[in-house]
Amino acid sequence: MSDQAYLSIGGRTRALWPNRWDMVVVPLVLGSLALAFIGVRQMVAPLEVVQEAAISLDPSNLPVYALRTVLRMLAGLVASLVFTFSYATLEPRAAVPSLF
Amino acid sequence: MPILGYISFTVVFFMSLFPGKVLGAELAAVFAIFTSQAWNMAFSFYQSLRTVPRDLDEACRGFQCSAWQRFWRLEVPFSMPGLVWNMMMSMSGAWFFVVASEAITVGDKQITLPGIGSYVARAIQEKDLGAVGWAILAMTGVIVLYDQVMFRPLVAWSDKFRFEQTGAQTVPESWVLDLARRARLLRLVAVPIRRTFRFSLRFRLPVKGIRIAMPVPPRLIDMVWYAIVAAGAAYCGWSVVAYLSTTLSGGDLGKVLLLSAITMLRVAILIVLASLVWVPLGVMIGLRPRWAEKIQPLAQFLAAFPANLLFPVAVVLIVHFKLNVDVWVSPLMILGTQWYILFNVIAGASAFPTDLKEAASNFRMRGWLWWRSVILPGIFPYFVTGAITASGGAWNASIVAEYVKWGDTTLTAHGVGAFIAQTTEAGDYPRIALGIVVLAIFVMLFNCLVWRPLYRLAERQLRLD
């Protein structure tokens, strides 16, 4: 309801006009999308690429490693969330969780 | 170093799905993270579903909500604060497994996925303390980032779902959430999504759920389902026994049973000790929202700090002081999992209704009486959830913690975790399977005999209605 009012009261042009917060938010969103794209593209690369490049202990590689780990964690979290909602909903009739 | 026994199996499975791609190994790592956090989130959600207050439940029935509406209008909002807390703590727990799961062994092939975990594994291999330091720094950055960009906004947002009759004094805030709310272009994307979602909530076609539409009684479906499950379990059990009995003797079984008992003793003592420390502290923190706000990032960092990084220090200390390995390796098991208790108790204490708190202070309840009849019953369901997940985590961690390495120094404690780790390293598949099966049976027994009664008690007698 509130967003409906927001869009109609200010008129279409004013409501859609970017404000100063967009200066910060839009680059952030686009930047993280780009990073995610880079990471995902590395994820689907052929296996040989990974096996040839051994892990180097040079700290300058750490940001890239961190990005990969972050994406992995995010994927795990999303999968867990889906599992949580579906499992707990499909299993509410049992007296105790059948996981245990 | 291979970790949890099943990883070697899942890697083979996922690699065969995507032959010649990193994606297979990637998915196996994601799966390891998933298994380390999903069950504990599911458990939190489940606990919320079972403790939905009766008045809200009746209101929902009164409005004739469909299952879909009920799910999104009542169950998800009600469980949101607890779920967000559990997501945070699962995330913290998962770092422990990332370190282990990024360096995977498939048969004789070692696949190292680029990531902080494999970086740390390599540093441990080469005894490079400086690199461990850099990894800690990177990890700190990632954890802070995750906290600021994801969990702070989630906590601030989910605060509106808190169930209570009186308003709270302090409200959690997040600059990212404020930013996202003020930006207009973001709204442009968000509003249509939200409208579609709300539109989907208007339909209430299956008014009384799907069950009424079924031609057969639900009892029959249940029976068929249980029969299928039982048959599957019997078949699996039979094939495991058949596989193991060709190569293993009764002596192996006895040995593994004894080792599991030792590990179980370790887990039980650790849980009791951790509860004695963290329940009072968690209550103190949880009842003070300002403290909780300040301590939560710190606790989260401590929890997320992969205990594996401290293992080398432990090895050096144990060797230096000639300590008993069986005793002093145990703290490593609880290092990563004690936070489950703390987080849950904080969540319970901060979700404790303000009206009850005020009533207790009006009656001038203090000291032991207050603990025994006000706060302990109030947080008990949360505590049980936390303790169950903590013990599960400790069982899991035993595989990594009872068999620790730093370069070429190795410490082995007596326990089923060390047994699994050793046999996995030796590639002795029958004994890996035996170890995992016995471990699973012990965990199940532990849950049936200890946690299930406690959980029932929490559910039946200590509801907040």
Mean of pLDDT values over B215-236? 78
What rounded mean pLDDT belongs to chain B?
78
> Could you tell me if B114 and B379 are in contact, meaning their C-beta atoms sit under 8 angstroms apart?
no
Whether A95 has a pLDDT exceeding 50, the answer reads: no
Tell me how far apart the alpha carbons of residues A71 and A66 are, in angstroms, rounded to a whole number. 9
- Who among B33, B38, B134 is closest to A59 (CB)? B134
Whether A97 has a pLDDT exceeding 60, the answer reads: no
Does the complex come out with an ipTM higher than 0.85?
no
Closest CA in chain B for residue A59? B134
Closest CA in chain A for residue B124? A57
Asked if the Cβ–Cβ distance from A62 to B123 is below 8 Å, we say no
What rounded mean pLDDT belongs to chain A?
70
Mean of pLDDT values over B145-155? 83
Instruction: Confirm or reject contact between B123 and chain A (CB < 8 A).
Output: yes
Mean of pLDDT values over B405-410? 77
Beta bridge partners of B104: B111
CATH superfamily membership of B6-213+247-461: MetI-like (1.10.3720.10)
Whether B3 has a pLDDT exceeding 60, the answer reads: no
Tell me how far apart the alpha carbons of residues B167 and B351 are, in angstroms, rounded to a whole number. 12
Residues of A in contact with B185 (CB under 8 A): 18, 22, 25-26
Query: Among A15-19, A41-45, B106-110, which stretch is predicted with the lowest mean pLDDT?
Result: B106-110
What DSSP state is assigned to residue B149?
I
Closest CA in chain A for residue B229? A98
**Number of residue pairs across A and B with CB atoms under 8 Å?**
191
Query: How many Å lie between the alpha carbon of A34 and the closest alpha carbon of chain B?
Result: 16
The confidence score (pLDDT) of residue B435 equals: 84
B167 band by pLDDT with thresholds 50, 70 and 90: low
Asked if the Cβ–Cβ distance from B115 to A62 is below 8 Å, we say no
Tell me how far apart the alpha carbons of residues B300 and B87 are, in angstroms, rounded to a whole number. 11
Q: Which residues 443-462 of chain B have a CB within 8 Å of chain A?
A: 444, 447-448, 451-452, 455-456
The percentage of chain B sitting over the pLDDT mark of 90, rounded to a whole number, equals 3
Task: Measure Cα distances from B242 to B62, B247, B250 in Å.
Answer: 55, 9, 14
Query: How many Å lie between the alpha carbon of A80 and the closest alpha carbon of chain B?
Result: 4
Instruction: Confirm or reject contact between A12 and chain B (CB < 8 A).
Output: no
Q: Which of residues A22 and B398 earns the better pLDDT score?
A: B398
Residues of A in contact with B102 (CB under 8 A): 69, 72
Q: Which residues 404-443 of chain B have a CB within 8 Å of chain A?
A: none
> Could you tell me if B340 and B89 are in contact, meaning their C-beta atoms sit under 8 angstroms apart?
yes
Q: Which of residues A76 and A47 earns the better pLDDT score?
A: A76
Instruction: Confirm or reject contact between A88 and chain B (CB < 8 A).
Output: yes
Instruction: Confirm or reject contact between B128 and chain A (CB < 8 A).
Output: yes
Residues of B in contact with A79 (CB under 8 A): 30, 34, 38
> Which of A22, A83, A100 is the best substitution to test chain B (most B C-beta atoms within 10 A)?
A100
Tell me how far apart the alpha carbons of residues B85 and B159 are, in angstroms, rounded to a whole number. 11
Rounded to a whole number of angstroms, the CA Rg of chain A reads: 22
Instruction: Confirm or reject contact between A78 and chain B (CB < 8 A).
Output: no
Query: How many Å lie between the alpha carbon of B272 and the closest alpha carbon of chain A?
Result: 20
> Could you tell me if B38 and B55 are in contact, meaning their C-beta atoms sit under 8 angstroms apart?
no
Whether B273 has a pLDDT exceeding 90, the answer reads: yes
Tell me how far apart the alpha carbons of residues B268 and B274 are, in angstroms, rounded to a whole number. 10
Tell me how far apart the alpha carbons of residues B257 and B434 are, in angstroms, rounded to a whole number. 10
Phi and psi angles of residue B306, each rounded to the nearest 5 degrees, phi first: -65, 125
Closest CA in chain A for residue B184? A18
Structure tokens at B228: 């299928």
Residues of A in contact with B111 (CB under 8 A): 47, 50-51
The confidence score (pLDDT) of residue B7 equals: 65
Q: Which of residues A83 and B246 earns the better pLDDT score?
A: A83
> Could you tell me if B90 and B37 are in contact, meaning their C-beta atoms sit under 8 angstroms apart?
yes
The confidence score (pLDDT) of residue B276 equals: 92
Whether A32 has a pLDDT exceeding 60, the answer reads: yes
- Residues contacting residue B313 through CB under 8 Å, at least 6 positions apart: none
Residues of B in contact with A47 (CB under 8 A): 20-22, 24-25, 111
Structure tokens at B402: 């009872």
Report domain extents, chain B. Answer: 6-213+247-461
Whether B291 has a pLDDT exceeding 50, the answer reads: yes
> Which of A20, A67, A80, A87 is the best substitution to test chain B (most B C-beta atoms within 10 A)?
A80
Residue from B377, B382, B374, B372 nearest B358 by CA: B374
Whether B5 has a pLDDT exceeding 60, the answer reads: no
Whether B140 has a pLDDT exceeding 70, the answer reads: yes
Asked if the Cβ–Cβ distance from A54 to B194 is below 8 Å, we say no
Asked if the Cβ–Cβ distance from A96 to B456 is below 8 Å, we say yes
The confidence score (pLDDT) of residue B272 equals: 92
Asked if the Cβ–Cβ distance from A88 to B26 is below 8 Å, we say no
Asked if the Cβ–Cβ distance from B188 to A16 is below 8 Å, we say yes
Query: How many Å lie between the alpha carbon of A7 and the closest alpha carbon of chain B?
Result: 10
Mean of pLDDT values over A77-94? 74
Please state the pTM of the whole predicted model.
Answer: 0.69
Asked if the Cβ–Cβ distance from A51 to B111 is below 8 Å, we say yes
The confidence score (pLDDT) of residue A99 equals: 39
